[in-house]
């Protein structure tokens, strides 16, 4: 992993270290970002621990890794964590459709092998993991200290248990804790093949199409109000294209019309083409 930049978070959490969790890491995270800390001998998050927290959320370090819990939202029923060695990410890697997936077509995986993709809004890392499993080298940028910690824990946990098929995928993923706009501003033009954006916005849609976990996650982390600026910066740095993931009925990001769109059932990919993938970076025509 590359060194992280010092960033702050709009969300205040209580850091809870449970039995079997990485106590040294939990304490270091608490001290670095000024979050309150609770050390517990309990293996699970009990009501007594929750009652001792003065924040609405807890970042819990346990034998299973790091999870984000809400002490107020009872409807979710579980914590939010990044799991790349099992669950839906592993299932999608094995049975998700390979290069036939819409995200693969939008990024251009079939058109050029070994693409260098910048996921500038990494979130929980699911899309970056799919692209890495398809052979892309993916750099994940995440500015939230909490989401970055979830991602880092998930990658480390997967690496500790991963087999011969999973470890090469993880090796193609590089996580950086930074603000994407600031990071891009320091890069030369044509510094990455494809920039991928999946910005978060306030979710008003409460239908089943918007999963409960993602609604909750968006509420916790907040929205990306500067995503329009990020799109413009990305278009200046991408060699081939910028891909923006949107809800199917959402307007274009920052009202910028894409070169073309690829639509799925509940989501849409807006593709802003800078250069055909059939051409090399030095080709003028």
pLDDT by residue (tens digit) across 239-280? 999 999 998 899 999 999 999 999 998 899 999 999 999 876
Q: What is the mean pLDDT of residues 107-136?
A: 94
**Whole-angstrom Cα distance, residue 160 to residue 85?**
10
Model pTM score: 0.88
Residue 223 has pLDDT above 60, yes or no: yes
Q: Are 250 and 258 in contact (CB under 8 A)?
A: no
Q: Residue 192: name the closest of 165, 174, 210 by CA.
A: 174
**What is the percent of the chain with per-residue pLDDT over 70, rounded to a whole number?**
83
Q: Are 117 and 245 in contact (CB under 8 A)?
A: no
**Whole-angstrom Cα distance, residue 15 to residue 213?**
21
pLDDT value at residue 2: 43
Q: What average pLDDT does the structure give for the chain?
A: 86
Domain ranges of the chain: 14-70, 87-273
Q: What angle do CA 127, 128, 132 make, to 5 degrees?
A: 120
Q: Could you tell me the pLDDT band of residue 282, with boundaries at 50, 70 and 90?
A: low
**Whole-angstrom Cα distance, residue 19 to residue 204?**
38
pLDDT value at residue 169: 96
pLDDT value at residue 203: 53
For 107-126, b/e burial (b = at least 16 CB within 10 A) is bbbeeeeebebbbbbbbbbb
Run of H or E including 269:
strand 267-273
pLDDT value at residue 90: 78
Q: Distances in Å between the alpha carbon of 167 and those of 65, 81, 155, 216, 221?
A: 18, 19, 10, 30, 29
- The secondary structure of 83-109 as a DSSP string is -SSSHHHHHHHHHS-GGGSHHHHHHTT
Check residues 19 and 282 and name the one with the higher pLDDT: 19
Residue 205 has pLDDT above 80, yes or no: no
Q: Could you tell me the pLDDT band of residue 10, with boundaries at 50, 70 and 90?
A: low
pLDDT value at residue 55: 87
- Taking domain 87-273, whether its CATH number is 3.40.50.150 is answered by yes
114: left (phi over 0), alpha (psi -120 to 50) or beta: left
């Amino acid at each position: 992993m590359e060194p992280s930049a010092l960033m702050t978070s709009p969300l205040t959490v209580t850091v809870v270290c449970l039995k079997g969790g990485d106590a040294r890491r939990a304490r270091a995270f608490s001290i670095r970002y000024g979050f309150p800390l609770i050390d517990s001998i309990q293996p699970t998050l009990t009501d007594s621990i929750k009652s001792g927290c003065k924040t609405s959320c807890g970042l819990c370090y346990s034998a299973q890794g790091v999870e984000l819990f809400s002490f107020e939202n009872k409807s979710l029923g579980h914590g939010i964590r990044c799991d790349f060695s099992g669950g839906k990410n592993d299932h999608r890697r094995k049975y998700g459709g390979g290069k036939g997936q819409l995200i693969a077509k939008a990024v251009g995986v079939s058109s050029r092998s070994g693409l260098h993709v910048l996921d500038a809004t990494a979130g929980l890392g699911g899309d970056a993991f799919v692209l890495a499993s398809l052979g892309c080298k993916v750099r994940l940028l995440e500015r939230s200290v909490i989401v970055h910690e979830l991602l880092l824990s998930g990658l480390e946990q997967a690496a500790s248990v991963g087999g011969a098929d999973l470890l090469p995928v993880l090796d193609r993923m590089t996580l950086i804790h930074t603000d994407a706009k600031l990071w891009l501003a320091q890069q030369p033009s044509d510094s990455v093949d494809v920039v991928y954006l999946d910005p978060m916005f306030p979710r008003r849609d409460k239908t089943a199409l918007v999963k409960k976990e993602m609604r909750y996650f968006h509420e916790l982390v907040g929205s990306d109000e500067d995503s329009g600026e990020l799109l413009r910066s990305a278009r200046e740095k991408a060699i081939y294209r910028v891909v923006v993931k949107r809800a199917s009925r959402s307007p274009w990001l920052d009202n910028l019309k894409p070169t073309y769109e690829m639509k799925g059932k509940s989501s849409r990919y807006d593709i802003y083409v800078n250069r055909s993938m059939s051409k090399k970076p030095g080709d003028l025509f």
